[in-house]
């Protein structure tokens, strides 16, 4: 069967860190694309070539605006026959999956799509969400028959925020579909934009499971390193030196201790754990890893207080500067950053502090200010005690010439 790009009008639903690069890539490769998002402010900013998330290069955003459309008006997407859902999948306060964004997107698409449409989900979910939750919504809203009038697919997103090297086209794409014809179309679409190629999963549930598996494996391994770091620190052994020595063996997985935040590793395990509990299976290792990583911030705060005591630093007369606020280095993404929890913990202990992060936006600073947390983006001066939280390039550069007191929870290389 010969496929033609002109046969497909693609709608990307959700223009965040996943949807925007995906939409821009399809547009660059000559597809008819419309980017849709319910956030009108986001739409206006993107139309004016402003992306506060720094998801894509300015030149790519400008090219996308020239060749494609962006809209928050659902009537603009009714003529599309390919819908790709890239909305967030957060968790509730009780850490159960919050599927509302995916369900609401399915309702919207179901009410608009025409016969022959294919709806592809990229949002991270537990196995069965596409088949058992989204598909019935699409069927009910459209009054169409599944796998006769419309098809579904799942292709887990693999974009890494802030990574300008491993960009979307360089990462192999897993694809799946509800039937063979849809799989052929989906394979054609993604093969057209992904230079690294595709992997065809045998079913949608396999593809869904592969995504959460990627992140859970990393979560578990980081938890192990965090646990070792706590142990080695109590023994007066440098975890960093241990890792360097161990990594001389070819099959050692080199990871470093850290605060596990963000939108993937700290969230996705709860999706599979939820499904696991529904099935009656208790995922002990996953639960233990999540608990350890969630509580890593408590250990850091206690370790910091022990450090100041040992170094005779009077916190009553010292202002601490938290260096870095985003959830990972060299990235503006603050979703689920664990530094916020650190800040609140220090605040509850009466520690005076401020935050320096070159990636902070005015909006984030305003939110911090509401909680009486002072923050700034300009290069810092007269720092009394530097508390390293995130290894931004600018922070590492600052430390090259800084001779004051430093607390570094990862390496614990202290200079006074």
Q: Is 416 exposed, middle or buried (0-12, 13-18, 19+ CB in 10 A)?
A: exposed
- The Cα 96–Cα 349 span in angstroms is 30
- The Cα 69–Cα 180 span in angstroms is 31
13 phi/psi in degrees, rounded to 5 = -95, 110
Q: How many CB atoms lie within 10 A of CB 333?
A: 20
Assess whether 264 carries a catalytic annotation.
yes
Find the angle CA(275)-CA(177)-CA(31) to the nearest 5 degrees.
Answer: 125
Nearest residue to 125 (alpha-carbon basis) of 284, 320, 268, 287? 268
Q: Which of 80, 264, 331, 389 is catalytic?
A: 264
Q: Is 59 exposed, middle or buried (0-12, 13-18, 19+ CB in 10 A)?
A: exposed
- The Cα 306–Cα 51 span in angstroms is 42
* Dihedral, CA of residue 331, residue 336, residue 342 and residue 345, to nearest 10: 160
Q: Is 187 exposed, middle or buried (0-12, 13-18, 19+ CB in 10 A)?
A: buried
Tokens of 172: 């192999």
Handedness of CA 229, 235, 237, 238 (dihedral sign): positive
Nearest residue to 321 (alpha-carbon basis) of 348, 357, 297, 288? 357
Active site amino acids: 264
């Amino acid at each position: 069967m010969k496929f033609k790009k002109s046969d497909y009008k693609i709608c990307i639903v959700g223009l965040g860190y996943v949807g925007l690069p995906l939409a821009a890539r399809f547009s660059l490769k000559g597809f008819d694309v419309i980017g849709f998002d319910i956030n009108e402010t986001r739409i206006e900013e993107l139309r004016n070539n402003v992306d506060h998330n720094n998801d894509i290069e300015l030149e790519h955003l400008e090219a996308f605006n020239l060749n494609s459309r962006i809209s928050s008006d659902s009537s603009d997407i009714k003529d599309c026959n390919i819908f790709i859902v890239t909305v967030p999948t957060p968790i509730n306060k009780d850490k159960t999956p919050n599927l509302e964004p995916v369900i609401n997107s399915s309702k919207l698409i179901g009410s608009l799509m025409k016969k022959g449409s294919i709806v592809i989900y990229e949002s991270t979910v537990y196995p069965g969400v596409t088949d058992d939750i989204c598909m019935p919504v699409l069927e009910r809203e459209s009054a169409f028959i599944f796998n006769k009038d419309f098809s579904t697919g799942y292709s887990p997103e693999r974009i890494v925020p802030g990574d300008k090297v491993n960009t979307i086209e360089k990462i192999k794409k897993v694809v799946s579909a509800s039937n063979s014809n849809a799989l052929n179309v989906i394979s054609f679409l993604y093969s057209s934009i992904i230079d690294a190629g595709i992997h065809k999963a045998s079913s949608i549930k396999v593809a869904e499971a592969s995504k959460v598996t990627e992140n859970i494996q990393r979560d578990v391994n980081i938890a192990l390193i965090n646990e070792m770091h706590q142990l080695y620190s109590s023994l007066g052994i440098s975890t960093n030196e241990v890792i360097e020595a161990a990594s001389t063996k070819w099959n050692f997985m080199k990871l470093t201790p850290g605060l596990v935040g963000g939108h993937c590793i700290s969230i996705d395990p709860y999706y599979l754990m939820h499904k696991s509990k529904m099935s009656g299976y208790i995922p002990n290792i996953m639960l233990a890893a999540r608990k350890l990583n969630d509580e890593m911030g408590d250990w850091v705060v206690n370790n910091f207080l022990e450090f100041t005591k040992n170094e005779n630093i009077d916190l009553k007369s010292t202002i601490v500067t938290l260096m870095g606020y985003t959830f990972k280095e060299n990235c503006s993404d603050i979703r689920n950053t664990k530094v916020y929890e650190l800040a609140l913990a220090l605040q509850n202990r009466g520690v005076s502090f401020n935050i320096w992060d070159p990636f902070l936006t005015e909006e984030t600073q305003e939110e911090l200010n509401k909680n009486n947390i002072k923050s700034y983006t300009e290069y810092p001066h007269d720092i009394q005690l530097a508390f390293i939280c995130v290894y931004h390039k600018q922070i590492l550069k600052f430390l090259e010439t800084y001779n004051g007191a430093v607390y570094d929870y990862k390496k614990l290389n202290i200079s006074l």
